[in-house]
Amino acid sequence: MPDLEELKSEVVNSQIWRSIFRGGLWSDTPRDRANHMIGNVWLHIQPAKVRKRALEWTYTWGLGGISFFLFLVLVASGVLLMFYYRPVPGLAFRDIKDLTYAVTLGKFLRNIHRWAAQAMVLIVILHMLRVFLTGGYKRPREFNWCVGVILLTLTLFLSFTGYLLPWDQLALWAVTVGTNMAGATPFLGNAGPFGASLMHMQMNNDIRFVLLGGTTVGANTLVRFYVLHCVAVPLLLGVLIILHFWRVRKDGFSAAPYGDVTEPKLDTWPNLIKREYIAAAACLLVLMVWALLVNAPLDVIANPHATPNPEKAPWYFVGLQEMLVYFDPWIAGVMVPNLIIVGLMAIPFIDPSPKGVGRYAFKERPFANTMFLMGIIMWFCFIFMGEFCRGPNFVWYWPWQSWLMQKPAPPPTWNLFGPTGVGKFPLALGLPALGLPVLAIMFLPKLIQKNLSLAKAALACFAGFVVVAFALRYGAHVPLSQGAWIVFFGTFISFFGVLIPQRHIRGLDWARYLVTMVLVVCTMGLLVKICARLAFNIKYLVTIPSVFLNV
């Protein structure tokens, strides 16, 4: 019997093996290691050598690779689940039940599919955050950042389409709400501005009708979402992932900033590949333990006549659900998400600073990092509000309050400017009253070309709003509790909306400055409206019902 080494060498040098794998006998030379990367179709998307800094865990945290690994896990588990699933109302729910209780490994596969999907959403968001903080979107990587934003959007869309497939209550109502948001699209939806009036949109010819394949969530909807979830979107996502990877190669890994070519390089095999395997293995271990310990939820079968109370979206959409409480659907459900996507894609083009590429550099890019982190934290605050502070009838319950506690009927809301509002003339009164502060936030930062002390200016704003609060208390009998809201939101908005931009981007050219400030003003607008509703019970700041303008 030949010894093992001899056998291995015989196999590796056989004609069959050599016809599959290129290269000669492995002798672990740098040339071998490079050839191994170049000669393997799966490995050659990665360079033969990488910079040492790119290998540090604390630089990438492995987030991009983990996202991709989760995608592979989702494809594998998803394809297996498809063998037992029929996308027909009634059967679909029964098949999920069978998968859970009758099919060998079915429950585990469903669990791992569900938890990997949840993890992928989180990891992709964190990956975006990491790329932002290390300046990875800057020249020449603008385009790849945009591809990444589309990948994030598609990840969320895959989650959304997958949500309908179990055909339980959660599924039905999440999709009812989601598709009704599409129905609120301006021009293209029957309930959106100018939809019915200008474009003759009805229940049976608008964009919602296309999504549903009918006028309500039904059998056609299930098939459409099934095809989108299992074929169309994963294909598109796969193509864009390839593009994303290819551009990472072509644009250069961000840990290697331009000009710094003296840095030593290491062999990708085994240095990077080893780390990738460790990350994937660790990730799989966590997923498997998670899937063994926690079962994917399954509500009762879909009932189109009764909505669970309260009905909550999956956690990553709860922030959006919370926004929908304050704004009309076409704003919160259509404009805000689209503005977020477009705003994210605009970032590389409105930030001309070449500083801070390839490292976490807060001091070099204070404005970009402050505003981006503020946005992310704000979004997670909305998620917290929706997830933990909303109870039956979507009424505000603090996390420590029992949902069994009956809340009194809410007081009727009122409008500030509009035909049914306090100020009767939305155009004559509402437009200047709301437009002037908007213009002030928009232009003040660039018009004050002076170095202000941030602390002193912030303190002055705070003092100003305290004075306003007391003036309202003694002038208009506005209670101090409401005054506190004004002080908090007023100071917050003047700090992040005016003072921070004034300090950092007043030197920016007008085009970039204005685009940046539009995004800043919109973000601050969200806060104004939330404050108006929560503290003052205002439904609309300004409403012109004839043209659906309700803000």
Which residues sit at the interface with other proteins, rule CB under 8 A? 173, 176-177, 180-181, 184, 204-205, 209-210, 213-216, 218-220, 304-311, 321, 324-329, 333, 390, 392-395, 409-413, 537, 539, 548, 550
Can you tell me which residue has the tokens 């948001």?
Answer: 181
We find the least distance from the C-beta atom of residue 490 to other proteins, in angstroms, to be 24
Which C-beta is closer to other proteins: that of 202 or that of 338?
202
> What element of type H or E holds 8?
helix 4-12
Query: ∠ CA 242-244-247 to the nearest 5 degrees?
Result: 105
Which C-beta is closer to other proteins: that of 14 or that of 401?
401
We find the least distance from the C-beta atom of residue 420 to other proteins, in angstroms, to be 11
Those residues whose C-beta lies under 8 Å from the C-beta of residue 111, and which sit 6 or more positions away, are 290, 291, 292, 294, 295, 296
The conformation of residue 359, written as its DSSP 8-state character, comes to: S
Phi, psi of 493, rounded to the nearest 5 degrees: -70, -40
Which C-beta is closer to other proteins: that of 401 or that of 413?
413
Which C-beta is closer to other proteins: that of 85 or that of 326?
326
We find the least distance from the C-beta atom of residue 485 to other proteins, in angstroms, to be 19
Strands, DSSP E only, in 420-515? none
The conformation of residue 363, written as its DSSP 8-state character, comes to: T
- Would you list the DSSP string of 271-303? HHHHHHHHHHHHHHHHHHHHHHHSPPP--SBP-
For the CA atoms of 281, 282, 287, 290, the dihedral, rounded to the nearest 10 degrees, stands at: 140
We find the least distance from the C-beta atom of residue 381 to other proteins, in angstroms, to be 18
The structure tokens listed for 158 are 């895959």
Which C-beta is closer to other proteins: that of 2 or that of 412?
412
Can you tell me which residue has the tokens 């930062």?
Answer: 445
We find the least distance from the C-beta atom of residue 19 to other proteins, in angstroms, to be 36
Helical residues (DSSP H) of 406-453, grouped into ranges? 431-447
The conformation of residue 545, written as its DSSP 8-state character, comes to: G
We find the least distance from the C-beta atom of residue 228 to other proteins, in angstroms, to be 11
291 and 107 in contact (C-beta within 8 Å)? no
Which C-beta is closer to other proteins: that of 177 or that of 272?
177
We find the least distance from the C-beta atom of residue 287 to other proteins, in angstroms, to be 31
Which C-beta is closer to other proteins: that of 502 or that of 550?
550
Which C-beta is closer to other proteins: that of 106 or that of 329?
329
211 and 203 in contact (C-beta within 8 Å)? no
We find the least distance from the C-beta atom of residue 412 to other proteins, in angstroms, to be 4
Furthest-apart CA pair in the chain: how many Å?
Answer: 101
